[in-house]
Chain A
């Protein structure tokens, strides 16, 4: 069965520093991987996805993620963190159902960016 692990409950970063939010996955077959961000009292906003192709995927708001097949990881990165990046981040993997696809999410990582 497909699964996702986000090993850190919380990541603290100073504004202007690079940030990394970690994600590892377990799938059978080719992985389809996603990052979403959730702000308080709001739904999930799509950031980026990896389907195939380049291992470095660029997404919204300056975020990028690096797919590493050998380490089964898909870490989210940003070169320079902003205070406004503070939110809850979810990694997800596609799970194929008989008639469609669903997303299987990790438990989430709280990102706190301090000025």
Chain B
């Protein structure tokens, strides 16, 4: 079946621009996660949704980062007034439900802020 998909795969933004990154989770998956992977590092947790509810956003690095999942399926991660330090790969993952341990990851969006 179809896995997690993300778009765009690559995004180049000028410093100060706003960007929006999209995630389509596996159909029927209740839980959705966003992670940030800086170059040469492991992914780091940003935020978590259960259906449409954002239950944890403790990993968002600043108030320029905003995520939503209004209908409990597709999610968008928005970064306002991008900075060079926002350059990273943004990974989306989904899991069947809250109690499911395995997260399935999308291919990621590579963001480069110039």
Q: A residues bordering B, Cβ < 8 Å?
A: 4, 32, 34, 36, 41-46, 49, 51, 90, 92, 94-95, 97-108
Contact = CB atoms under 8 A, between A and B. Distances in A.
A103 B4 contact: no
Chain A at the B interface: SS class: strand
Contact of B103 (A41, A97, A103): A103
Interface of B: 4, 6, 31, 33, 35, 40-45, 48, 50, 55-56, 58-59, 91, 93, 98, 101-108, 110
A100 B108 contact: no
A10 to B, nearest CB: 12
Contacts of A99: 48, 50, 55-56, 98
14 contacts: A36-B105, A45-B105, A49-B101, A92-B42, A97-B48, A97-B55, A97-B58, A98-B55, A101-B98, A105-B42, A105-B43, A106-B42, A107-B42, A108-B42
Q: Which 4 A-B pairs have the closest CB atoms?
A: A105-B42, A99-B55, A43-B105, A44-B105
A79 to B, nearest CB: 24
